């Protein structure tokens, strides 16, 4: 299986032998596309899934620094922590494959902590809203997480 993320259309497609077998709505960076460190943009190009985190976590489990906090997301938690970047349920940590474009130096996707991750169900899909990551519905992410493996290719394209 390979994954293609179309930033313009805000969709994530799963392909088997170049045939789309599943499609999910996503949200990408509010700052658009880009690879530069600190830009909070979604990086383009060829990547792999470097790590899968949270395999047994409950849906809506909260992660900070890739570690479970023990919290389950709720509206009250959001009110009490309005500035948190909500990373929920599962994390698929991406690593760039193109040296100078999305790997190494000031453009390294993995060092920028770019993930495919869950978000609050109240967050709208199909909009620019993340800090660079690809956000998915929690239930969709659980399905995707179970289908992919470390080393799965992920291509992020602008259009």
Q: How far apart are CA 24 and CA 141, in angstroms?
A: 9
Give the model's pLDDT for residue 7. 98
* Average pLDDT for the chain: 97
**Per-residue confidence at 156, pLDDT binned at 50, 70, 90?**
very high
CA 94 to chain centre: 8
Give the model's pLDDT for residue 51. 98
Going by their DSSP bridges, the two strands 115-118 and 134-136 should be labelled as parallel
Tens-place pLDDT, residues 43-89: 999 999 999 999 999 999 999 999 999 999 999 999 999 999 999 99
Tens-place pLDDT, residues 104-130: 999 999 999 999 999 999 999 999 999
In angstroms, how far is the first alpha carbon of the chain from the final one?
21
Nearest to 155 by CA among 33, 31, 55, 30: 33
Give the model's pLDDT for residue 34. 97
* % pLDDT > 90, the chain: 99
Average pLDDT of 10-23? 97
Going by their DSSP bridges, the two strands 61-64 and 67-72 should be labelled as antiparallel
Give the model's pLDDT for residue 105. 96
CATH number of 2-157: 2.40.440.10
């Amino acid at each position: 299986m390979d994954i293609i993320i179309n930033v313009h259309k805000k969709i994530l497609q799963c392909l088997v032998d170049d045939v789309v077998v599943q499609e999910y709505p996503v949200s990408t960076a509010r700052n658009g596309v880009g690879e530069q460190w600190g830009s909070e943009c979604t990086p383009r190009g060829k990547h792999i899934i470097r790590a899968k985190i949270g395999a047994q976590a409950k849906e809506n489990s909260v992660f900070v620094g890739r570690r479970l906090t023990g919290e389950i997301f709720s509206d009250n938690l959001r009110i009490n922590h309005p500035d948190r970047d909500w990373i929920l349920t599962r994390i698929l940590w991406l690593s760039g494959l193109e040296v100078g474009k999305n790997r190494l130096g000031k453009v390294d996707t993995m060092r920028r902590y770019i993930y495919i991750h869950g978000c609050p169900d109240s967050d709208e899909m199909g909009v620019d809203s993340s800090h660079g990551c690809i956000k998915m519905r929690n239930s969709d992410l659980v399905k995707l997480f179970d289908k992919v493996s470390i080393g799965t290719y992920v291509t992020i394209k602008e259009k």
